[in-house]
């Protein structure tokens, strides 16, 4: 199983949310449908960056690290962008 650390950007307030999921497509749909209380008031979101890991521990560590980064750092990741096709 692969785990994705992802960065989404709110189109409403231009803020970022960092998360982890074993099903990235489903998770982004959940964010945009309002199913997730933590982000429902900030939707819609755009997936701006992600990275896959083979194990949950590495993914969780990267997620924690990324959550502490500045908005400027996250903007740079967003500039890098995402691949057209998810793994």
Pairing of strands 3-10, 45-53: antiparallel
Could you tell me the two tokens for 87? 């793994």
Could you tell me the two tokens for 42? 């900030």
Distance CA 41, CA 19 (A): 16
User: What domains can you pick out in the chain, each with its CATH number?
Assistant: 3-80 (3.40.1440.10)
Q: Is the pLDDT of residue 66 over 70?
A: yes
Neighbouring CB atoms inside 10 A of 37's CB total 7
Query: Using one digit for the tens of pLDDT, what is the confidence trace for 25-62?
Result: 999 999 999 999 999 999 999 999 999 999 999 999 99
- pLDDT value for 85: 47
């Amino acid at each position: 199983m692969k785990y994705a650390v992802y960065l989404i950007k709110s189109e409403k307030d231009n803020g970022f949310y960092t998360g982890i999921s074993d099903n990235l497509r489903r998770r982004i749909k959940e964010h945009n449908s309002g199913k997730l209380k933590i982000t429902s008031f900030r939707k819609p979101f755009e997936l701006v960056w992600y990275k896959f890991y083979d194990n949950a521990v590495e993914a969780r560590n990267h997620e924690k690290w990324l959550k502490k980064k500045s908005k400027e750092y996250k903007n740079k990741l967003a500039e890098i962008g995402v691949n057209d096709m998810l793994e």
